[in-house]
A and B are shown apart, each in its own frame.
Chain A
Amino acid sequence: MKVKLLFFAALREQLGRPTEEVELPASVTTVGALRDHLRARGGEWERVFAPNRPVRAAVNQDMMQAEARIKAGDEVAFFPPVTGG
């Protein structure tokens, strides 16, 4: 299935892209599995999505935990803990 990825702030800079359309294998059905899938790309991806790195995720603009399901056409965003206000 195909999903749209968005990256913000330090993640966007490290990965060198604000957005990407990606075709996922059938085994990737949750936010946590997607994170593992991206980490397996190696290089900067491995550093950005390292298990000890505090990365937040949103699916269709709602904050989600690792076990949240993802489906075709979803907008999945990854970003650091927020620092507004």
Chain B
Amino acid sequence: MKVAVQREDFDLGAEVRAISRDAKVGAVASFVGLVREVRMTLEHYPGMTEREIGKIVDEAAKRWQVMDCTVIHRYGELAPNEQIVLVAVASAHRGDAFAACEFIMDYLKTRAPFWKKEHRAGGATWVESRAADDEAAERWKRGER
């Protein structure tokens, strides 16, 4: 399991290969989040961020068969179309890989201490949290997924 919070970009192919080496791995599901349209600055809480993501990954590994997992989240200045976040999960079968990947992403959005500030022509503003994100995480608790 790998959790990294970093300024640098990441290589999806290299990260997927790194968790695919075990011959028992039959499926890798990955998600990459990108900066959409507007330049932004991402702030985080060093230390707590890594801990929170680690807890979410542990929770996913209790619910599904997770043979290996990598989560990378960037911070600092990011331009439109740049990669922000990677979640990649290796499992024997696709069902576990898909579900664990989506679960980790949904919880990361509501629990990992990151904040986005968007830089538009009219000035910089902090992004407001979205009720839809809370709802996505809540569905897992209610057992709807």
Within the complex, the shortest CB–CB distance from B118 to chain A, in Å, comes to: 10
Please name all residues of chain B whose beta carbon is closer than 8 Å to the beta carbon of A77 when the two chains form the complex: 45, 48, 113
Within the complex, the shortest CB–CB distance from A70 to chain B, in Å, comes to: 16
- Candidates B44, B48, B108, B127; contact of A58 at CB < 8 Å: B48
Q: Mark A1-30, 1 if CB is under 8 A from B, else 0.
A: 000001011101000000000000000000
Within the complex, the shortest CB–CB distance from A18 to chain B, in Å, comes to: 10
Please name all residues of chain B whose beta carbon is closer than 8 Å to the beta carbon of A84 when the two chains form the complex: 42, 44, 73, 85, 108-109, 112-116
Contacts A9-B43, A10-B126, A61-B45: A83 and B114 contacting too (C-beta < 8 A)? yes
Q: Count A-side interface residues using an 8 Å CB cutoff.
A: 18
Tell me if B's interface is mostly helix, strand, loop or mixed. Answer: mixed
With the chains together, A77 CA to B129 CA distance in Å? 18
With the chains together, A12 CA to B45 CA distance in Å? 12
Within the complex, the shortest CB–CB distance from B82 to chain A, in Å, comes to: 14
Asked if A32 is at the interface (CB within 8 A of a chain B CB), the reply is no
- Candidates A12, A61, A63, A83; contact of B127 at CB < 8 Å: A83
Please name all residues of chain B whose beta carbon is closer than 8 Å to the beta carbon of A62 when the two chains form the complex: 48, 51
Please name all residues of chain B whose beta carbon is closer than 8 Å to the beta carbon of A45 when the two chains form the complex: none
Chain B's closest residue to A56 (CB) is B113
With the chains together, A63 CA to B112 CA distance in Å? 10
- Measuring CB to CB, which residues of chain A are less than 8 angstroms from any residue of chain B? 6, 8-10, 12, 54, 58, 61-63, 77, 79-85
